[in-house]
Amino acid sequence: MRQINKLISLRVIDMFWLEHLENMEYLRDSVRLRAYGQQDPLIEYKNEGHKMFQRLLDTVESNIANTILKVSLAPASARPMNQAQQSIIPDKNKPSRNDPCPCGSGKKYKRCHGA
């Protein structure tokens, strides 16, 4: 359970942290325009950045909790095979790389769902 908690936490934090950094860049650009409205851009940046960080923490906590609650554990015998084991056994239902994609997009499988 601790490994699941670590993996989910790291994945969620990484995903939302990257989004937060992008939002902070947009905020930096938008705060410059507030100087025209007679507001100190540095103070506005700090206040808005703090609010965004608090929202980030709330979002991360709730997303981690929701994801952990949705996790289902499979018994050890029903675990999926690793990549090396899967490459040995050919899948008869899977189209080859140059076949048309079964989704009906008209593209080759390797360019659509096989990528």
So what's the pLDDT on residue 26? 92
16 shares its domain with 49: yes
What domain range includes position 95? 81-115
pLDDT at 61: 94
Q: How many angstroms separate the Cα of 112 from the Cα of each of 56, 86, 93?
A: 34, 21, 16
Please give the Cα distance from 96 to 53 (Å, whole number): 47
pLDDT attached to residue 59: 95
Q: Are residues 59 and 8 in the same domain?
A: yes
pTM, two decimals, is 0.57
CB 99 within 8 A of CB 108: yes
The whole-number mean pLDDT for each consecutive block of 10 residues of the chain, a chain of 115 residues, reads 90 93 91 82 92 95 92 69 57 72 78 75
